[in-house]
Amino acid sequence: MTRTDDDPPEWAKERAREMMAAANDAEADESDAEGAPAPDADRVPDVPVEAVDEAERLTRLAREAESAEPTPEIEEAADQYRERRDALAAEYGYTARVRDEDDALVLYPDEWMADGTVQLDKVEDTDRAVEVSLSGPGDADRYREVAAYNESVAEAVDERAAEVHARTAETFAAFMSNHYVRPVDDATPAMRAEFREEYLVRNGWPTDEQLDAVDESLSVIESVAAEVDDPADADADDRDAPSDSA
């Protein structure tokens, strides 16, 4: 085919093809950059909000337990709260500390720690740490209320049922108060299973008779609890009652 004067020369066509290829490569690079993950400097804390809230709750509960009259049981409960908090933080690669100077719970990434001490002077970006003030209100004040209710249920079982059920009721009351801060009659099937298969065996010093009757004991506890006034309900009744004052 004979080239006319209107056709561009071959070198011009080749140059145009090179420029088009370069433009396509640039667009591909921009697309890859948009889909690339953010650099480490832009990372946010790696702990879910729910886990932070639970760590705060457990810290407050440990404090509340220690504010009561010191007993071996109270000290054990406080230690258990802290152990659960520390284990929760460790699941996400964090270490929990309470900073006394401003009364704050702080969760530090494990790689910032050395021999149990945070090395902030070696950290360029501190955004991955999580801080929660402990000076504000929390739900730890419910501990005493729940513990008192659970103890009253255990006492009622002692008065109305066989001794084997009473001993289990006392242990179950401590378990629900110290581990979950929940009334004994608010235990989920999973909580009951944990108590029956783990806590009672390790911490309750049960007799063979107790172990054989544990399911029956839990049923007795639930039925007796239905007849015991929940302190929260009693408080609500007091608030709703008419006042004698003018």
Q: Give the residue extent of every domain in the chain.
A: 49-133, 142-236
Say if residue 170's pLDDT is above 80. yes
Amino acid at 64: E
Rounded alpha-carbon distances, angstroms, from residue 198 to 43, 91, 180, 188? 39, 21, 15, 15
For 190-212, b/e burial (b = at least 16 CB within 10 A) is ebbebbbeebbeeebebeeebee
- Average pLDDT for 35-62: 70
pTM here is 0.49
DSSP strand pairing (94-99 vs 104-109): antiparallel
Helix or strand holding residue 200 (H, E)? helix 200-203
Say if residue 34's pLDDT is above 60. no
Grouping H, G, I as helix, E, B as strand and the rest as coil, residue 246 is coil
Find the length of the chain: 246
- Tens-place pLDDT, residues 63-122: 877 776 777 877 888 899 999 999 999 999 999 999 888 788 999 998 888 888 888 776
Determine contact, residues 58/85, Cβ cutoff 8 Å. yes
DSSP H helices, 110-179, are 142-160, 163-175
Determine contact, residues 228/149, Cβ cutoff 8 Å. yes
Please give the Cα distance from 234 to 59 (Å, whole number): 28
- Tens-place pLDDT, residues 200-221: 988 788 999 999 999 999 999 9
Q: According to the per-residue pLDDT averaged within each range, which of 4-8, 58-62, 140-144, 219-223 is highest?
A: 219-223
Please give the Cα distance from 94 to 110 (Å, whole number): 5
Grouping H, G, I as helix, E, B as strand and the rest as coil, residue 137 is coil
